[in-house]
């Protein structure tokens, strides 16, 4: 029998933001439930268990800051933690703060409907259970609506196939198998070296080469941990004040001001540091074409120096501005193409036509044989998870409809016409261009403080105004337009990888520091840009 539950806040999603929402709201006395579609907590880190899955932000940064004892006591083993270690951390946090009792697993939300008269949301699950709450926190994640391209013949393929973001818990046996990996984004570049080392043969089907940096991983030594933990609070303050929400070594110089030699030395240093450090090489690397081209040329030369076969090396060289598709990281990624059991096929030149019983057929009639196909083909990013839920605000307006021309938010948190509905780490906020844990914490704390403010001042409803929303959306677009991202709209940042989606730059590039200040200012000034109303004003 379907059941109905009354709570103050319904949180959708038990990833980093959802779990912290539960912790923070519960602490302030709001009854809170978290509804999670997966069979375990962890969100992204629960589902993306493909071999090689690893964070590309340093573990000491990519972790909760809200509890000093937690951050002092947890010991990260590596600079860039693997998926199992991150999931173990999330499990630890859930146990430590007794979060699980208010998380409902295997509970997929199908709709969230605003009831004008009651001034409450009704959130309905696939099983028909209803959760009625004053507030909804949509912590649904931005990279989890996975996409398997609609290839003809998917059912004809007689082998096994998997998407990286829906990896079997028991793992996949590659030994002795012929494997195809489709896709060379962040997931592809992490899994490819591992499959290559295990499988009999690997064929990589690459449509667009992307820039892949070395991971730069290493075990943390006791000295490194002690140094960081000696004043963890300062590290956290620094992360929140920074552009990308973590303690990266940022070069304050502009690439236009320095010699070619100095640029090259900086690129070399950044390559050796690994991951996203390359994007902090110069302040203008994502703005100035010459500086960016210099970096891109430098990486292309690096690829040529690593990959022995010049034809393969040429295929691997990206022809776009560095970083305008999200930079990838991989351990021995380019070196993998020197292995005798690895082939690379350019499927832009020779596109995939269909799957057949034995493998994948290409436009020239070749069939690439496979026992296993891995789709590392990405997500309907930023809005995909929310658009799969039937969210209806005032007057039954659909969120999907409201966002048809691109996501509309005020400071990434509120949506006009959708009262008491908060979007966590989504479009219009630094989100995927930043450390998602830092940015998620900013959001959760802002929502917590807003709810306390409403309660203390006798308000029942908070809602972004259409004017504030429009101005913010314009600002988000304006900031993006002044960067090189605007010269490469073929990325999931713009929604370009999802058929039918509006081409709009989705995250906010203004920087975590200034963005956080803006959120603080809004709270301090009594929430300008939002309308606050008391119940009697909203009930007819
Ligand atoms: P992605 O970046 O969207 O990459 C998808 C890949 O699949 C691209 O190479 C794409 O080619 C290719 N592809 C898609 N459809 C195809 C088709 N029909 N035929 C051939 N190729 C096709 O997805 P992702 O690698 O899963 O990464 C998504 C995001 O998740 C990352 O950008 C990152 O933010 C996050 N992530 C982070 C980490 C990490 O922290 N290290 C790891 C994994 C994921 P095109 O480029 O031509 O579209």
pLDDT tens per residue, range 94-138: 999 999 999 999 999 999 999 999 999 999 999 999 999 999 999
CB-based contacts of 216: which residues, under 8 Å, 6+ apart?
Answer: 79, 80, 272, 273, 274, 275, 277, 329
CA angle, residues 360, 366, 369, in degrees to nearest 5: 45
State residue 540's pLDDT score: 37
Q: Are 336 and 342 in contact (CB under 8 A)?
A: yes
Q: Which residues are 372's β-sheet partners?
A: 160, 179
| 425-434 per-position pLDDT tens digit | 999 999 999 9
Q: Whose CA is nearest to atom 24 of ligand 1?
A: 378
Give the whole-angstrom CA distance, residue 114 versus residue 500: 27
| 401-444 per-position pLDDT tens digit | 999 999 999 999 999 999 999 999 999 999 999 999 999 999 99
Using the Cα atoms of residue 448, residue 450, residue 452 and residue 458 in order, give the sign of their dihedral.
negative
| 66-90 per-position pLDDT tens digit | 999 999 999 999 999 999 999 999 9
Q: What's the Cα-to-Cα distance from 319 to each of 185, 263, 278, rounded to whole Å?
A: 15, 20, 17
Q: Whose CA is nearest to atom 4 of ligand 1?
A: 185
Pocket test for ligand 1, best of 151, 378, 425, 437 (most atoms within 8 A of CB): 378
Task: State the pLDDT confidence band at 536, using cuts at 50, 70 and 90.
Answer: low
Instruction: Determine if ligand 1 sits within 6 Å of the CB of residue 360.
Output: no
Span 460-484, mean pLDDT?
Answer: 98
Q: Whose CA is nearest to atom 36 of ligand 1?
A: 186
CA angle, residues 489, 494, 498, in degrees to nearest 5: 110
Asked if pLDDT for residue 539 goes beyond 70, the answer is no
The three-state DSSP-derived secondary structure of 459-498 is: CCEEEECHHHHHHHHHHHHHHHHCCHHHHCCCCHHHCCCC
| 234-254 per-position pLDDT tens digit | 999 999 999 999 998 899 999
Q: Which residues are 115's β-sheet partners?
A: 120
Give the whole-angstrom CA distance, residue 215 versus residue 446: 33
**Residue 53: closest CA among 182, 206, 188, 169:** 188
Q: Whose CA is nearest to atom 10 of ligand 1?
A: 183
Distance 213 CA to ligand 1 centre (A): 15
Pocket test for ligand 1, best of 185, 324, 360, 376 (most atoms within 8 A of CB): 185
Q: Whose CA is nearest to atom 23 of ligand 1?
A: 378
Instruction: Determine if ligand 1 sits within 6 Å of the CB of residue 324.
Output: no
Dihedrals phi, psi of 484, to nearest 5 degrees: -75, -10
Asked if pLDDT for residue 40 goes beyond 90, the answer is yes
Q: What is the atom index within ligand 1 of the atom nearest the CA of 492?
A: 3
Q: Whose CA is nearest to atom 33 of ligand 1?
A: 186
End-to-end CA distance of the chain: 33
Instruction: Determine if ligand 1 sits within 6 Å of the CB of residue 207.
Output: yes
Distance 305 CA to ligand 1 centre (A): 25
Instruction: Determine if ligand 1 sits within 6 Å of the CB of residue 189.
Output: no
Q: What is the atom index within ligand 1 of the atom nearest the CA of 143?
A: 30
Asked if pLDDT for residue 52 goes beyond 90, the answer is yes
Beta 32-35 vs 367-369: how paired, if at all?
Answer: unpaired
Instruction: Determine if ligand 1 sits within 6 Å of the CB of residue 492.
Output: yes
Q: Encoding tokens for residue 165?
A: 């973001």
Q: Whose CA is nearest to atom 18 of ligand 1?
A: 149
Count of alpha carbons within 13 angstroms of residue 402, beta-carbon side: 25
CA angle, residues 310, 295, 318, in degrees to nearest 5: 45
Instruction: Determine if ligand 1 sits within 6 Å of the CB of residue 339.
Output: no
Instruction: Determine if ligand 1 sits within 6 Å of the CB of residue 376.
Output: yes
Give the whole-angstrom CA distance, residue 216 versus residue 58: 10
Asked if pLDDT for residue 390 goes beyond 70, the answer is yes
């Amino acid at each position: 029998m379907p059941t109905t539950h009354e709570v103050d806040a319904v949180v959708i999603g038990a990833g980093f933001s959802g779990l912290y929402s539960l912790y923070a709201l519960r602490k302030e006395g709001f009854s809170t439930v978290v509804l999670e579609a997966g069979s375990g907590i962890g969100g992204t880190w629960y589902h993306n268990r493909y071999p090689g899955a690893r964070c590309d932000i340093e573990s000491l940064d990519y972790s909760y800051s809200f509890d000093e004892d937690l951050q002092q006591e947890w010991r990260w083993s590596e600079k860039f933690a693997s998926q199992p270690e991150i999931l173990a951390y999330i499990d630890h946090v859930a146990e430590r703060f007794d979060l699980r009792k208010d998380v409902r697993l295997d509970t997929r939300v199908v709709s969230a409907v605003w009831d004008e008269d009651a001034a409450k949301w009704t959130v309905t699950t696939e099983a028909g259970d209803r959760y009625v709450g004053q507030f909804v926190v949509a912590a649904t994640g931005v990279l989890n609506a996975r996409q398997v391209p609609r290839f003809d013949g998917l059912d004809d393929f007689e082998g096994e196939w998997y998407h990286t973001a829906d990896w079997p818990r028991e793992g996949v046996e590659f030994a002795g198998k012929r494997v195809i990996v489709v896709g060379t984004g962040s997931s592809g570049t992490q899994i490819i070296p591992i499959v290559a080392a295990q499988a009999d043969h690997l064929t990589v089907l690459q449509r667009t080469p992307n820039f892949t940096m070395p991971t730069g991983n290493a075990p943390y030594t006791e000295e490194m941990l002690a140094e960081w933990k000696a004043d963890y609070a300062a590290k956290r303050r620094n992360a929140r004040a920074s552009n990308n929400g973590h303690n990266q070594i940022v070069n304050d110089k502009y690439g236009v001001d320095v010699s070619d030699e100095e640029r090259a030395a900086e690129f070399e240093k950044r390559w050796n540091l690994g991951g996203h450090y390359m994007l902090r090489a110069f302040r203008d690397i994502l703005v100035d074409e010459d500086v960016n081209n210099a970096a891109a040329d430098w990486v292309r030369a690096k690829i040529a120096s690593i990959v022995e076969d010049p034809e393969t090396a040429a295929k691997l060289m990206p022809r776009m501005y560095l970083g305008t598709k999200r930079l990838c990281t991989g351990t021995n990624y380019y070196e993998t193409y020197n292995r005798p059991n690895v082939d690379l096929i350019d499927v832009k030149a020779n596109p995939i036509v269909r799957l057949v019983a034995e493998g994948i057929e290409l436009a020239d009639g070749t069939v690439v044989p496979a026992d296993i196909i891995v789709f590392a083909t990405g997500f309907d990013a930023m809005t995909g998870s929310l658009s799969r839920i039937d969210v209806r605000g005032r007057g039954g307006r659909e969120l999907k409809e409201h966002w048809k021309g691109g996501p509309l938010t005020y400071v990434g948190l509120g949506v006009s016409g959708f009262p008491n509905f908060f979007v966590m780490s989504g479009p219009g906020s630094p989100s995927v261009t930043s450390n998602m844990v830092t940015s998620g914490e900013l959001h959760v704390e802002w929502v917590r403080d807003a709810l306390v403010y409403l309660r203390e001042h006798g308000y029942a409803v908070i809602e972004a105004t259409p004017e504030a929303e429009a101005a913010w959306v314009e600002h988000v677009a304006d900031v993006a337009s002044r960067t090189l991202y605007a010269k490469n709209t073929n990325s999931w940042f713009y929604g370009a990888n999802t058929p039918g989606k509006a081409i709009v730059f989705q995250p906010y590039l203004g920087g975590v520091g200034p963005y956080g200040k803006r959120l603080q200012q809004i709270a301090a000034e009594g929430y300008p840009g939002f309308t606050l109303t008391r119940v009697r004003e909203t009930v007819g």
